Amino acid sequence: MRSLAMRTLVLVIIVVIIVASIGVYYYYNYASPSTTSTNKPIKVAILFDVGGRGDLSFNDMAWLGAEKARKDFNIQVEYTTPQSQAKMQDLLESLSASGEYDLIVLVGFLWTSPLNATADKYPNQKYALIDSSTFINRPNEVDILFSEQEAGALVGVLAADMASKIGCNKVGAVAGMSIPPLWRFHIGYLFSVKYYEMKTNKTIDFLWEYTGTFGDTQKGYQYATSMLQERACVLYGLAGLTHVGMFDAVRDWNKQGKGVALAIGQDASQEWYMPRYMPISGAKRVDIAVYDAIKMVAENKWTPGIHVLGLKDSGVGIWDLDGVKYFAEIAYNQSKLETGLTPDDVVRIVNETRNTYITETGWNIMSELEQLIISGQIAFKNPSTEEEYTQIVNALKNGDLNAALSRGSI
Amino acid sequence: MPEASNYMRIVKVIIEEAVSLLVGFAVAVIILLFSGYEPLSVISILFSEGFRNTEVLMKQSIPVIATGLAFSIPALAGLFNIGGESQLYIGAFTGLVSTYIIYNATGQPVLSSVTGLVSGTLAGGFWGFIIGYLRARRSVNEVVVAIMMNWTTYYLVLYLIVSRFTDPIYSHMSVFVPASSRIPDVLGFIMITGVAVLTYIVLRYSSLGYSIRVAGLNPKAAVYAGFNLEKIFITAMSISGAIAGLGGALFVLSVIYSIDTTMSAIYGLGFLGIGIGLLGRNNPIGVVLAGLFISGLQFGGQWVELRTGAPPYLTDVVIGIIVIALSATYTYELLVSKLRRG
């Protein structure tokens, strides 16, 4: 028994010596205490959605915006992704309690309720909530929303134009859940399809379905297939991961020779997913929202409250070919691109697809509408209740375009 | 004499744990060095940030203490319960839904939360019973059944949340536990610790505990001595399932209040429980300590990502190595006995 104790002791001592020597080595080599500079650099924490980096869309765009801000303002940016929804609240509290960060950026609507529970406890901690709002005015909180109507409006004109070129004269949208951002997309999309009808004297039918989920590709596939069977040929994806299923349905429809169908992506440029069948994507520039939030702190121009990014702030719109290339490159680096395609191929194919299916008239009507919006001649309504939303949509269906506008008239 | 040998045993355990902790850190340091991160700062952040806030530590450890116990009790009886995962799911779901329904029907906060806890416990217990029954009466391997039940339950709960119990306002969440039925998180921790203490007492001083330990030490001798193995297996699995179910119900009622539609809040807690059971050496009190320890390291891992940019997976690797080193003391014992024999 004594020899056992002795040997264990020897083992302990050896390990202690090894660990300690590594520790001492490190202490002298790396832990140089150079915290003598007096003006502390601005420090920002970015907290992603549970999905985190690598989604090639929402979270990755937030990262892009933060990286740009880090370079432009020469500040310190730190990132983390909550391990699970059960940890979001605790993580936010512990970051706030540390008092280390000049700004905490919360990416995505999942942070709404943790923020609501935390913000009042730490009045000196600044928060920026991206793409969601607590609808409570706090001096330490900025909520950045997007005017989805304006993105939907540009997409709608082009969708209607493509449907008329293909000859089916019917457009559709696979939407996620019935929540305010989707209401806004619906209004913009429907408005501009009607606007296109008015300008060209054509009739374009309109389908809109809520799948009830943002994360179910299977459902996206089913809804899209039934729309295609109803003879819609241009489908707009507004359901996050769900609409990736819609993309697949459109691709299969073409490949099985059932007819010509096109898909439209949203948020990030998603054309790379299937450049032959996806000529355009609506843009929702999460990167710009994150950048703007950091800018407010970096330039000391904090303006709390709700900010809405629209066309004129380049917060929403349609991705140009540079954007298409940019996201194709990211996809390429993650080997998510179709085999054999390079980012340049994607851009070339997308350009061809655009030239094939979008007419000159389509582009002209779109830029005309874009000008009306940017110049402020017209502005869209922002329904706060489901009832108001339904009213607007019904009026639009009956051809009353002005029902969707809070300013100006058509 | 028994006093002295007991004392020696505790000293031995402490020495073993210390050695394994150091070995674990030594390996972790090497891995961090190779991945290009500063090992000392990563490890110091893990500890300093992870164990800063006691309340966070307590509430995050509630479910893993439960699943740790759910692993340990059958382990003592010689069974491998990998089904803590599904037992926790069903407990969390049943607890949530019955609290919600009872509160809406009666408006009684205490009644509803008590019902929630009880029904969560019963549901988890039933899930454990199925595994125990199949093992005892039909000789079906408990690991296979448990793994299949994990996925079946995962999709069952997911389906029920998404199709029947979605919150009308936050559509990515299930319905919420009514505000007045919620249990303070500290109380939740005290309750699960109480369960652990109770388990300790039962295992050590009751005839049931004795029979469980005998069955695990030598099943043949147990049968020869007149123990009913079938009954022991079924009881051990039912109890462990009930504890995991209670853990799930407590976690929902005192910490998360709602299950998200990706189930990220409750996924993986059962698997983590296996490590915690091993780390706690199947001793209920050890499981509580191990649960706190691992929850702290995990929470510290978030800060590691913030401060050093190390991906979260790397922190998981470091934690994993420490757990392996701590729970692999059997290897040391083997090594030492080899050394002694020469």
CA distance A104 to chain B (A): 12
Going from the C-alpha of A191 to that of each of A46, A196, A206, A217, B162, the distances in angstroms are 36, 9, 11, 27, 32
Q: Is the pLDDT of residue A34 over 80?
A: no
User: Does the beta-carbon distance from B305 to A4 stay under 8 Å?
Assistant: no
User: Does the beta-carbon distance from A86 to B255 stay under 8 Å?
Assistant: yes
Q: Tell me what pLDDT residue A377 has.
A: 94
Going from the C-alpha of A50 to that of each of A54, B93, B255, B261, B311, the distances in angstroms are 11, 21, 18, 12, 14
Residue B1: pLDDT band with limits 50, 70, 90 = very low
User: Does the beta-carbon distance from A7 to B40 stay under 8 Å?
Assistant: no
User: What would the pLDDT profile of A109-129 be if each residue is shown by its tens digit?
Assistant: 889 889 999 999 999 999 999
Q: Is the pLDDT of residue A51 over 70?
A: no
Q: Which of residues 194-213 of B touch A (CB under 8 A)?
A: none
Q: Is the pLDDT of residue A31 over 60?
A: no
Mutate to test the interface with B, among A1, A16, A70, A87 (most CBs of B within 10 A): A87
* Pick from B15, B260, B307: CB nearest A85: B260
Q: Is the pLDDT of residue B12 over 60?
A: yes
Q: Tell me what pLDDT residue B280 has.
A: 85
Going from the C-alpha of A327 to that of each of A58, A251, A316, B293, the distances in angstroms are 12, 20, 16, 42
Residue B311 token pair: 């991906």
pTM of the model: 0.80
Q: Is the pLDDT of residue B6 over 80?
A: no
Mean pLDDT of chain B: 88
Q: What percent of chain A has pLDDT over 90?
A: 70
Residue closest to B251 by CA, chosen among B182, B301, B198: B182
Mean pLDDT of chain A: 89
Q: Chain A residues within 8 A (CB-CB) of chain B?
A: 3-4, 7-8, 11-12, 15-16, 18-19, 22-23, 26-27, 30-31, 45, 50, 78-87, 90-91, 93-95, 97, 109-110, 112-113, 177, 179, 212-215
Instruction: Report the amino acid identity of residue A252.
Output: D
Q: Tell me what pLDDT residue B324 has.
A: 81
SS3 per-residue string spanning chain B: CHHHHHHHHHHHHHHHHHHHHHHHHHHHHHHHHHHCCCHHHHHHHHHHHHCCCHHHHHHHHHHHHHHHHHHHHHHHCCCCCCCHHHHHHHHHHHHHHHHHHHHHHHCCHHHHHHHHHHHHHHHHHHHHHHHHHHHHHHCCCHHHHHHHHHHHHHHHHHHHHHHCCECCCCCCEECCCCHHHCCCHHHHHHHHHHHHHHHHHHHHHCHHHHHHHHHHHCHHHHHHCCCCHHHHHHHHHHHHHHHHHHHHHHHHHHHHCCCECCCCCCCCHHHHHHHHHHHCCCCHHHHHHHHHHHHHHHHHHHHHHHHHCCCHHHHHHHHHHHHHHHHCHHHHHHHHHHHHHC
How far is the first Cα of chain B from the last one, in angstroms, to the nearest whole number?
Answer: 29
* Pick from B16, B60, B264: CB nearest A85: B264
Residue closest to B81 by CA, chosen among B245, B273, B230, B291: B273
Lowest mean pLDDT among A254-263, B52-61, B128-137, B326-335: B326-335
Q: Is the pLDDT of residue A146 over 70?
A: yes
User: Does the beta-carbon distance from A3 to B340 stay under 8 Å?
Assistant: yes
Q: Tell me what pLDDT residue B35 has.
A: 85
Once rounded to an integer, what is the mean pLDDT over residues A317-322? 94
Residue A6: pLDDT band with limits 50, 70, 90 = low
CA distance B20 to chain A (A): 9
Nearest CA in chain A to B251: A86
Lowest mean pLDDT among A57-66, A135-144, A202-211, B7-16: B7-16
User: What would the pLDDT profile of A174-222 be if each residue is shown by its tens digit?
Assistant: 998 888 889 999 999 999 999 999 999 999 999 999 987 777 788 899 9
Q: Is the pLDDT of residue A10 over 60?
A: yes
User: What would the pLDDT profile of B37-83 be if each residue is shown by its tens digit?
Assistant: 888 888 888 888 888 888 889 999 999 999 999 999 999 998 999 99
Q: Is the pLDDT of residue A35 over 90?
A: no
Once rounded to an integer, what is the mean pLDDT over residues A147-158? 96
Residue A289 token pair: 């929202």
Q: What percent of chain B has pLDDT over 70?
A: 95
Neighbours of B218 (CB within 10 A): 12
Whether A215 and B264 have beta carbons less than 8 Å apart is answered as: no
Once rounded to an integer, what is the mean pLDDT over residues A371-393? 92
What are the chain A neighbours of B298 within 8 Å (beta carbons)? 83
Nearest CA in chain A to B159: A216
Q: Tell me what pLDDT residue B295 has.
A: 92
Once rounded to an integer, what is the mean pLDDT over residues A359-379? 95
Helix (H, G, I), strand (E, B) or coil at A86: helix
User: What would the pLDDT profile of B235-248 be if each residue is shown by its tens digit?
Assistant: 999 999 999 999 99
Residue B278: pLDDT band with limits 50, 70, 90 = confident
CA distance B340 to chain A (A): 7
Q: Tell me what pLDDT residue B152 has.
A: 95
Residue A228: pLDDT band with limits 50, 70, 90 = very high
d(CA B285, CA B269): 19
User: Does the beta-carbon distance from B301 to A45 stay under 8 Å?
Assistant: no
Residue closest to B276 by CA, chosen among B81, B140, B132, B122: B81
Judged by a CB distance cut-off of 8 A, whether residue B105 touches chain A is no
d(CA B113, CA B93): 13
d(CA A324, CA A294): 25
Output the DSSP codes for A317-354.
EE--HHHHHHHHHHHHHTT-SPTT--HHHHHHHHHHHH
User: Does the beta-carbon distance from B38 to A79 stay under 8 Å?
Assistant: no
d(CA A101, CA B26): 32
Whether A171 and A207 have beta carbons less than 8 Å apart is answered as: yes
Q: Is the pLDDT of residue A316 over 80?
A: yes
Q: Which of residues 113-142 of B touch A (CB under 8 A)?
A: none
